[in-house]
Amino acid sequence: MAALAATLSTPFDREFLEETAIPPCQSGELETTVDAGGHGMTVRLPWRLLGRPGLPVLLVLGGINSGRKLESWWSRQVGIGRSLDPTRFRLLSVDWADSEQQRQSPLLTQDQAQAIEALADHLGIQRLHGVIGASFGAMVGLALAERDRLFIDRLLLISGAHYSHPAATAARHLQREIVRLAEVAGLPRTGLALARGLAMSTYRTPELFAERFNETDAVDRLQSLESYLGHVGHQFARRYEADQFLGLSEALDLHQVDPSRIRVPATVVGVDSDQLVPLTQIRALAEGLAGPVALDVIQSRYGHDAFLTEHLRISKILNACFKEKTHATA
């Protein structure tokens, strides 16, 4: 165990391995070229592969604020004995592909999919037991399936659809304008923090806000909200650069796939309170897919963030989709 831990790339990886007895972990960064609207852009794709060779591979993709370290954003699902058990599956995850040129042309979901295809080729993975995508990750999963360069046994798509809903696009447009104005003022981090705070008002439901910020005094309630939004905003601003945020935000709004071209068996999951990807859109996606489809609706007060908070419901869905250990390929 100590020898294996010493080969891992970061202290975080070593600590996670030592504390949880997780099987072998590989990580790295791939440089590859994607189409990027005909510009032929070079991108960097940080990746991690958790679990021993020979197990069926699951590609796990979250929202724009997720990343390759699954236990940092989906800790209740990842681990021995949990739904995403690295003794049963090999878990492939990525940070979103990034490029210094993306102000010239944003990296679309198809470009993210193309980079992942190059990564799979680099790692010798020819078949994916499943692609699990939530939010932006579901959009990239759809792009992967539409491109049809990798063999995928099953798609699990949570709170992501075949295009961006106009209401969600409107909210993100305003977030990007805030960041651009803040850049002009020389305050890019402040702009990122404000944009993230505004986004939180669309991720969660009005009912949840009312429950969490229930102070009877208006001054106390305002101060509590200001403190919360400031905290989540500044956390986000420490992690992202303005260019990276603007590119990912625009990629969400430019996302478009044709469900009728996707024949991979799929489970599509929607949340009844999701303001960004409403159930009408989730149902339209399920009806439009060409392959076998199962539709699952989660009732939750957490809105778009339900995939991060409804741990038991999500665990049951994961277990139902990937209970069989077949198709060992990498």
Q: Give me the half-sphere count of Cα atoms (radius 13 Å) on the Cβ side of residue 59.
A: 30
- Asked if 255 and 109 touch (Cβ cutoff 8 Å), the reply is yes
> Which is it for strands 151-152 and 127-128: parallel, antiparallel or unpaired?
parallel
Asked if 26 and 41 count as a contact pair (C-beta separation under 8 A), the reply is no
- Gap between the Cα atoms of 10 and 6, Å rounded: 9
Cross-strand bridge partners of residue 47? 28, 94
Among the listed residues 85, 153, 274, 296, the single catalytic one is 274
Question: Is-catalytic flag, 93?
Answer: no
| CA distance readout (Å), 316 to 84, 170, 186, 199 | 11, 34, 47, 28
Q: Is 85 a catalytic residue?
A: no
Token code pair at residue 56: 């069926």
All residues at 6 or more sequence positions from 157 whose CB lies less than 8 Å from its CB, including other chains? 133, 138, 141, 142, 266, 267, 268, 269, 285
Classify residue 99 by its DSSP letter. Answer: -
Q: Which of 159, 149, 137 is nearest to 305 (CA)?
A: 159
Rounded Cα gap, residues 257 and 263, in angstroms: 13
Among 135, 159, 273, 300, which one carries the catalytic annotation?
135
* Active-site residue, from 296, 300, 304, 305: 304
Is 13 an active-site residue? Answer: no
- Return the exposure string of 263-300: e unless at least 16 CB atoms fall within 10 Å of the residue's CB, then b: ebebbbbbbebbbbbbeebbeebbebbeeebeebebeb
Catalytic amino acids?
135, 274, 304
